[in-house]
Amino acid sequence: MENKIDSKAKHPPVWIFGLLYLPYGVSGAFAGATLGSILQKYGVDKNKIASAVAASLLIATFQFLWTPTVDIGFRRRTWYMIMCVLGGLTMASTALIDVANNINLFIYVVLTSQVFINLTGPCIGGLMATTLPDDVRGKAAGFSNAGNIGAGAIGAGISLTLFQNYSLPVVSIVTGLMLMIPGLIALAVPELKPIKRKVSELFRTMFRDVWNTARSRVGWSGMLFCISPVGTAAAMQLFTSFSNDYKASENVVAIVNGYAGGVITGVSCIISGYFCDRMNRRVAYLIAGVATAI
């Protein structure tokens, strides 16, 4: 059932959700951009790099199986802060790994950090659904994607720059801090105490809602949109791993996949969010896909 919130009621500023998405974006960009550069420098085979990147995407794909955990016990903002701390500490712990001799362990720990940080996404989505009226959700989505993709790419640029000039432990610690510190921003989002529900009830409700959604026309058509190859995010995650093949320097990679790409993407997301409140969002999605292909 759609959550109806009075558009005149006081709600959190939409830009704050962009800040909340910073850890999610930084974590994803690290796995997609920085991780590939690190593994390439350590002489890891490209197929293995691709497998590691694919595994990071699969974590997001199947996270719906454990997403209901963020509705158990604590407020969503509390779960958000917990996941930021766990994800940040896990990432920072890679500073203790001798990567040259334990490359698999390094990959596994980075992916574990992703498991924690990916759960911040459902927390933010729940907060948006329960605190924002529909007429500003497009703008909120724009800022969210700006924080996720845009600022995340800038975070990857920072990690790549650090990796070029400092040791890997420095990269691990700074990235861990970038995952943890934004967690405090959640305290600025007002949230009511959650209704206590049994864990079994939460999972039953989730699977029932998924089934009902899959059966409805709006639901299954929306799923087709999600699995369609409209975007290029999956391919983008591998670009840094092939920089040597294209004779791209480390600085070029940091600028294109980091700073410049992040700024351009972030601004585009905010502008797109404005239009999404003024037109059919599915049509906007298709237009963006066609424009990307062209």
Nearest C-alpha neighbor of 228 from the set 278, 274, 293:
293
pLDDT in tens, 82-100: 999 999 999 999 999 999 8
pLDDT in tens, 257-272: 666 766 777 677 777 7
**Which has more confidence, 185 or 227?**
185
117-146 average pLDDT score: 84
Residue type, 149: I
Contacts 24+ apart (CB under 8 A), 163-169: 163/34, 163/37, 163/38, 163/41, 164/250, 164/251, 164/254, 168/38, 168/94, 168/95, 168/99, 169/95, 169/96
Q: How far apart are CA 58 and CA 114, in angstroms?
A: 11
Say how far residue 183 (Cα) sits from the centre of its chain: 14
Q: Residue 106: which pLDDT band, with cuts at 50, 70 and 90? A: very high
Three-state DSSP class for 280? coil
pLDDT in tens, 51-79: 888 888 788 777 777 777 777 778 889 99
Residues 6+ apart with CB under 8 A from 140: 14, 17, 128, 132, 273
Q: 18 and 183 in contact (C-beta within 8 Å)?
A: no
Distances in whole angstroms, Cα of residue 20 to Cα of each of 29, 127, 212, 259: 15, 10, 30, 19
**Which has more confidence, 17 or 69?**
17
Helix count and strand count (H, E) for the chain: 16, 0
Range in 61-70, 112-121, 241-250 with the lowest mean pLDDT: 241-250
Question: Token pair 């990857």 is at which residue?
Answer: 156
Range in 19-28, 37-46, 164-173, 231-240 with the lowest mean pLDDT: 231-240
Q: How far apart are CA 224 and CA 286, in angstroms?
A: 12
Range in 7-21, 75-89, 147-161, 266-280 with the lowest mean pLDDT: 266-280
What percent of the chain shows pLDDT beyond 70? 81
For the chain, give every domain's residue range. Answer: 16-293
pTM: 0.73
Q: Which pLDDT belongs to residue 173?
A: 96
Other Cβ atoms less than 10 A from the Cβ of 278: the count is 9
What superfamily does domain 16-293 belong to in CATH? MFS general substrate transporter like domains (1.20.1250.20)
Is residue 5 scored above 80 in pLDDT?
no
* Average pLDDT, rounded, for the chain: 80
Q: How far apart are CA 257 and CA 114, in angstroms?
A: 19
